Amino acid sequence: MAVECAEIRRHHRVGIKDIAGIHLPTNVKFQSLAYSSVDTEETTEPYTTEKMNQVPGGYLALTECFKIMTVDFNNLQELKSLATKKPDKIGIPVIKEGTLDAIMVWFVLQLDDEHSLSTSPSEETCWEQAVYPVQDLADYGIKPGDHVMMEVSCQDCYLRIQSISVLGLECEMDVAKSFTQNKDLLSLGNEAELCSALANLQTSKPDAVEQTCVLESTEIALLNNIPYHEGFKMAMRKVLSSLTPEKPCQTMDTHCQNNETSSGTGQSNTVQSILEPFYVLDVSEGFSILPIIAGTLGHVKPYSSVEKDQHRIALDLISEANHFPKETLEFWLRHVEDESAMLQRPKSDKLWSIIILDVIEPSGLIQQEIMEKAAISRCLLQSGGKIFPQYVLMFGLLVESQTLLEENAVQGAERTLGLNIAPFINQFQVPIRVFLDLSSLSCIPLSKPVELLRLDLMTPYLNTSNREVKVHVCKSGRVTAVPFWYHMYLDEEIWLDTSSEASHWKQAAVVLDNPIQVEMGEELVLSVQHHKSNVSITVKQ
């Protein structure tokens, strides 16, 4: 089924052209890791998986459900033929107007003539659905009368859906006229090949030199996170402004650079040569444009810690498109012996003005060894320099969630046909559920959010690694879990919420071994501990 889904879109397509004043050039082509290319041999799974009935914002079906293929696992000859079979060309009529974001796939498992299992999102199932994000279209808008075209194959043990395109009704009629005047094209033969040719005509592009930058879904969601980049830009500007004795040129742009280089007296050049640049180091994991944003805020020497060559090339192209002088952006790993020595001085006699650390993992957990990294970073800052974020507040609340309970542990013997496997299986349950979306989690809040923990990277004596928190119960019910998230403070006025709608972070939850019945007006005491980047939450009774 072809679907519209904003959540899939923001994790697999960069949907903006400018980020905090940085222009993304057209010659940098961002691509999801879950993209299945026709021209290259992919070694990763050409899809992602989601529980589509729990995706934040839901999804809209743009086509009827359609059959992709049938596989008989008892037919050895048929299974062997899949490896050499040419891709099937499929064209599906559109029934609703919307944005084509993905092809959602589920399966019907026929056990015998009478019994079957479905992995459809409309069924109560333990399975997720396969999601094939749609990318590289000139226009993702579709409407009734259009056809979604695709090629389906299973040549390398992966079900691949490739060459997704849209054949519009108007285009189909116009091109059909030209077919009547072109005998060569009529030799295409069957209708499926004809449809494919029409789709290719619609999606063909002029030759252009492009740099493909393949990103994880969380990295694409980060690029689409506007509040994140705007917040960092404001916070960095405040720090750099406080460190600047005088500001002959606050923001680097082409006009300013031209004035400096064409000055007859040479006074601007003298000022620039006397003033040392501010050194900014971004050691956050994955692809980040924060160093480029920092480079627009004055006389700054930004360093990026990206590792992959394609990411470095993409950042260089973005810098060039934004008129950065050559060699403004540096890649820090070229200056250090190995990754373990990442945190050190920019030069033997220099210190950093800003160091950006990754405090929270995309999964919703605290990064390992973050307090140790913060301790080293504090020693590498110039007077007045800052670590970003400066501190983090962890929030949580009490909830009743049957979904979390059932997904975290086997509940009794009824659902396992009387077999008492729960005591054994539940020994291996994880203490914390990660990658949660609280906005779509099926749960009943039993309290208001409360502050659970403070992690201070700049002022360590303010940390609260062990504390007891009293939580007022606002609604009667069974406490089954304590979901938690973070507010990351870049300074006292600028902070980022990891549970917000635009956030690229997910949330996590501690699921209780034994649910606790509570009544409205009661108080529960939570014991919260943070030790070596691990958080534990227990209920004191």
pLDDT in tens, 237-250: 999 999 987 544 44
Q: Are 426 and 302 in the same domain? A: no
Instruction: Identify how many contiguous H helices and E strands the chain contains and give both numbers.
Output: 14, 32
Rounded distance, CA 149 to CA 162, Å? 9
Q: Give a yes or no: residue 317 inside a domain.
A: yes
What is the pLDDT at residue 171?
62
Q: Give a yes or no: residue 64 inside a domain.
A: yes
Closest by CA position to 31, among listed 12, 9, 45: 12
Q: Give a yes or no: residue 185 inside a domain.
A: no
Backbone phi and psi for residue 483, each to the nearest 5 degrees, phi listed first: -70, 150
The first and second tokens of residue 64, run together, are 């009827």
Number of domains in the chain: 3
Strand order across the 352-356 sheet:
330-331, 300-304, 278-282, 352-356, 381-388
CATH code of 424's domain: 2.70.160.11
Q: Give a yes or no: residue 11 inside a domain.
A: yes
Q: Are 342 and 418 in the same domain? A: no
Q: How far is CA 403 from CA 409, 433, 440, in A?
A: 10, 12, 11
What is the pLDDT at residue 337?
66
Q: Give a yes or no: residue 36 inside a domain.
A: yes
Sequence-separated (6 or more) residues with CB below 8 Å from residue 335: 303
Q: Are 40 and 140 in the same domain? A: yes
Rounded distance, CA 205 to CA 200, Å? 10
Q: Are 299 and 418 in the same domain? A: no
* 471: enclosing H helix or E strand: strand 466-472
Q: Give a yes or no: residue 256 inside a domain.
A: no
Q: Are 140 and 286 in the same domain? A: no
Helix axes 267-274, 254-261, angle to 10 degrees: 110
What is the pLDDT at residue 200?
54
Q: Give a yes or no: residue 377 inside a domain.
A: no
Q: Are 330 and 439 in the same domain? A: no
CA torsion through residues 297, 216, 396, 50, sign: positive
Q: Are 439 and 324 in the same domain? A: no
Domain containing 235: what range? 225-241+275-358
Q: Which of these three, 150, 171, 192, is where a domain ends?
A: 171
Q: Are 167 and 26 in the same domain? A: yes
Rounded distance, CA 130 to CA 103, Å? 8
Q: Are 305 and 414 in the same domain? A: no
Q: Are 12 and 54 in the same domain? A: yes
Backbone phi and psi for residue 461, each to the nearest 5 degrees, phi listed first: -70, -10
Q: Give a yes or no: residue 476 inside a domain.
A: yes
Closest by CA position to 97, among listed 144, 60, 138, 134: 144
What is the pLDDT at residue 517?
96
- The residues with which 63 forms a beta bridge, in sequence order, are 94
Q: Are 42 and 167 in the same domain? A: yes
Q: Are 9 and 122 in the same domain? A: yes
For 478-492, write each residue's pLDDT tens digit.
999 999 999 999 999
Report helix, strand or coil for 334: helix
The list of the chain residues with pLDDT below 50 reads: 38, 42, 174-189, 202-208, 247-273
What is the Cα Rg of the chain in Å? 28
Rounded distance, CA 232 to CA 234, Å? 6
Rounded distance, CA 511 to CA 539, Å? 11
* 166: enclosing H helix or E strand: strand 160-167
* 271: enclosing H helix or E strand: helix 267-274
What is the pLDDT at residue 439?
93
Beta carbons of 62 and 2 less than 8 angstroms apart: yes
The first and second tokens of residue 12, run together, are 């697999």
